[in-house]
């Protein structure tokens, strides 16, 4: 299972990279705005800075909603760095753009996916990643993890190579549940990744080992 961090915060990206388990980064316009990154040039420079920190794929989202605009924007983003994955929304022109990028060998991440039908279409168009937003579904009392299960089943039925990128991860149990279902990738906040480390018995056990070591030395 690949681990992506879902943030535009460079300190958090560095921290996750330093842990040695980071496979990539996802960003979106809201995450950029949260860090105060606005304006075309600043956004472009921020993508470049992220690519310098991590070794893996970095999703950069197009803002256009028409086919021509997405193609132009996506091609420019892809030229920024070999790690850039063009993030395209799940709309009709987005599907056409994903097909175009796929034929050109440009990696894509189909974002804002909320149904198995959308995920099927994204795979047919040749998306590299499909991003079902599980947290936002849970927020409206719909089963986000159930969607991951449905997509896994459909992709396995036909051997689609599109990777399921479980997105809108809110907490550590989301990561664990996605791992059990077989999501290829998860993207979440640093806090959710850090949560995987914690267990009170680890802390108690370590304190005991250190105390016993001190007794004998
Ligand atoms: C995915 O790529 C999105 O950036 C993200 O996971 C959205 O998550 P949110 O629902 O927490 O905004």
- For residues 198 and 201, give the distance between their C-alpha atoms in angstroms, rounded to a whole number: 9
Q: Quickly list DSSP for 145-198.
A: HHHHHHHHHHHHHHT---EEEEBS--SHHHHHHHHHHT-SEEEE-HHHHHGGG-
Residue 98, pLDDT above cutoff 90: yes
pTM: 0.96
| Contact in structure between 65 and 91 (CB atoms under 8 Å) | yes
Q: What is the pLDDT of residue 216?
A: 83
pLDDT band at 91 (very low <50, low <70, confident <90, very high): very high
Q: Is the pLDDT of residue 88 over 90?
A: yes
> Going by CA atoms, what residue is nearest to atom 9 of ligand 1?
168
Identify the residue whose C-alpha is closest to ligand 1 atom 6: 168
Q: Which of 106-115, 155-164, 208-217 has the lowest mean pLDDT?
A: 208-217
- Please tell me the distance from the alpha carbon of residue 151 to that of residue 133, in angstroms, as a whole number: 12
pLDDT at 143 over 90: yes
Averaged pLDDT, 142-151: 98
Read off the pLDDT of residues 18-35 as tens digits, 9 standing for 90 and up. Answer: 999 999 999 999 999 999
Out of 48, 87, 96, 180, the active site residue is: 87
Please say whether the beta carbons of 85 and 128 come within 8 A: yes
């Amino acid at each position: 299972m690949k681990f992506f961090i879902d943030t535009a915060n460079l300190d958090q990206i560095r921290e996750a990279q330093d842990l040695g388990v980071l496979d990539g980064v996802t960003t979106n316009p809201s995450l950029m705005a949260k860090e105060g990154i606005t304006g075309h040039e600043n956004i472009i420079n921020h993508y470049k800075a992220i690519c310098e920190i991590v070794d893996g794929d970095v999703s950069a989202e197009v803002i256009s909603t028409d086919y021509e605009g997405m193609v132009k924007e996506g091609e420019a983003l892809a030229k920024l760095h070999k790690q850039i994955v063009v993030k395209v929304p799940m709309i009709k022109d987005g599907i056409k753009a994903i097909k175009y990028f796929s034929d050109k060998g440009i990696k894509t991440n189909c974002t804002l996916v909320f149904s198995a039908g959308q995920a099927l279409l994204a795979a047919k168009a040749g998306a590299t990643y499909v991003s079902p937003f599980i947290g936002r579904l849970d927020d409206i009392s719909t089963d986000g993890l159930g969607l991951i299960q449905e997509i896994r089943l459909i992709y396995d039925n036909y051997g689609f190579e599109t990777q399921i990128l479980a997105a809108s991860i809110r907490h550590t149990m989301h990561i664990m549940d996605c791992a059990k279902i077989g999501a290829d990738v998860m993207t979440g906040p640093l806090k959710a990744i850090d949560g995987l480390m914690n267990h009170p018995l680890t802390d108690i056990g370590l304190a005991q080992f250190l105390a016993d070591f001190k007794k004998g030395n």
